Amino acid sequence: MKTLNLIGCGRVGRTLGRLWQQHQTLQIQDVLTTSPESAQAAVDFMGAGHAVASLAQMRPADFWLIAVPDRQILESARVMAQTLAGMPPAMAFHASGALGSAVLAPLRERGWHVGSAHCILSFATPAAAVQQFAGTPCGLEGDAAALHELRSVFTAIGAECFAVEADKKVLYHAAAVFGTNFLPVLQALAEDLWRDSGVPTELLPRLRASLLRNAVDNVLALGPAGALTGPAARGDTALVQRQGQAVSDWDPTAGEAYRALSELARRLAREGKLRPD
């Protein structure tokens, strides 16, 4: 079985590591995080691997997953290229949606294969993500050898792999931000507004469950344009303006969001899409 080292092992690293361990796809070898304690906790969660305290302690491996926060990826690649200079080049990849494999240039320049694999799943907790992972779409990008190897190991744990263009990753990732990250923000906004307009706090979970479930079911069944309702979709411009002003008075940033989203809702209702083809 091929071996995997992990640099960074939080929500994504732990989830993928545990899945590869469970499916016997990759043998988890060495794990480095910001502290031996958190590395050991990751090893305990994955049920495999060996926690180390520094890069110099890591043994050669076939795959190196750099699962640190995006802002740390380039620096991790730089330090790896220097510290591991005596090691045979292997395959390094990261999990960022917004960055391409070009950020791993320090390793590529030393003969490593490099790639990126972005799973379209909200890894809220590793325990939940392990359960939810099967069928997750996973956008791959990198050199030919990296693409081939990544497709194989991600398919083995149930991912549905597709290719992403490196120079479009920022926009590609913005889509995921709209599709998932903003949903809790919009929900929190709605609940603050309900609370401030006098809805009893104990009713909020019921409002949340009912509206959110309906909206998700309708979008899944009818698509975004078919599921759209509300004043902007109905063309009730006077109400949109009055409501936009009331929300702006309540919170200026929320007011801007209300106006921008109302304009997009109006376009979606009228054209069936947001932008011309």
Ligand X SMILES: NC(=O)c1ccc[n+]([C@@H]2O[C@H](COP(=O)([O-])OP(=O)(O)OC[C@H]3O[C@@H](n4cnc5c(N)ncnc54)[C@H](OP(=O)(O)O)[C@@H]3O)[C@@H](O)[C@H]2O)c1
State which of residues 4, 9, 150, 265 lies at the interface with ligand X (CB under 6 A).
9
Q: Assess contact for 146 and 93: CB atoms under 8 A.
A: yes
Identity of the residue, 21 or 76, whose beta carbon is nearer to ligand X in the bound complex: 76
What is the number of H-type helices and E-type strands within the chain?
12, 8
40 forms part of the interface with ligand X (CB under 6 A): no
Interatomic CA distance for residues 164 and 141, integer angstroms: 6
3 forms part of the interface with ligand X (CB under 6 A): no
65 forms part of the interface with ligand X (CB under 6 A): no
Encoding tokens for residue 45?
């969660």
Interatomic CA distance for residues 252 and 246, integer angstroms: 10
33 forms part of the interface with ligand X (CB under 6 A): yes
Interatomic CA distance for residues 268 and 57, integer angstroms: 55
Alpha helices (runs of H) in 102-251, residue ranges in sequence order:
105-108, 126-132, 144-156, 169-176, 182-196, 204-227, 231-234, 237-250
Q: Assess contact for 192 and 200: CB atoms under 8 A.
A: no
Identity of the residue, 147 or 159, whose beta carbon is nearer to ligand X in the bound complex: 159
Q: At its nearest, how many Å lie between ligand X and the CB of residue 125?
A: 10
State which of residues 63, 64, 112, 123 lies at the interface with ligand X (CB under 6 A).
123
Q: Which amino acid would we find at residue 12?
A: V
8 forms part of the interface with ligand X (CB under 6 A): yes
Q: At its nearest, how many Å lie between ligand X and the CB of residue 75?
A: 7
What element of type H or E holds 130? helix 126-132
Q: Assess contact for 64 and 52: CB atoms under 8 A.
A: no
Q: At its nearest, how many Å lie between ligand X and the CB of residue 180?
A: 8
State which of residues 67, 90, 104, 232 lies at the interface with ligand X (CB under 6 A).
67
How many CB atoms are closer than 10 A to CB 152? 12
What mask, x for binding ligand X by CB under 6 A, covers residues 70 to 109? x-x---x-----------------xxxx------------
Q: At its nearest, how many Å lie between ligand X and the CB of residue 73?
A: 6
34 forms part of the interface with ligand X (CB under 6 A): yes
Encoding tokens for residue 79?
């330090």
What element of type H or E holds 131? helix 126-132
Identity of the residue, 42 or 90, whose beta carbon is nearer to ligand X in the bound complex: 42
Q: Which residue is nearest to ligand X (CB)?
A: 10
Identity of the residue, 19 or 32, whose beta carbon is nearer to ligand X in the bound complex: 32
State which of residues 35, 83, 229, 241 lies at the interface with ligand X (CB under 6 A).
35
Residues near ligand X (CB under 6 A): 7-13, 32-35, 38, 67-70, 72, 76, 94-97, 118-119, 122-123
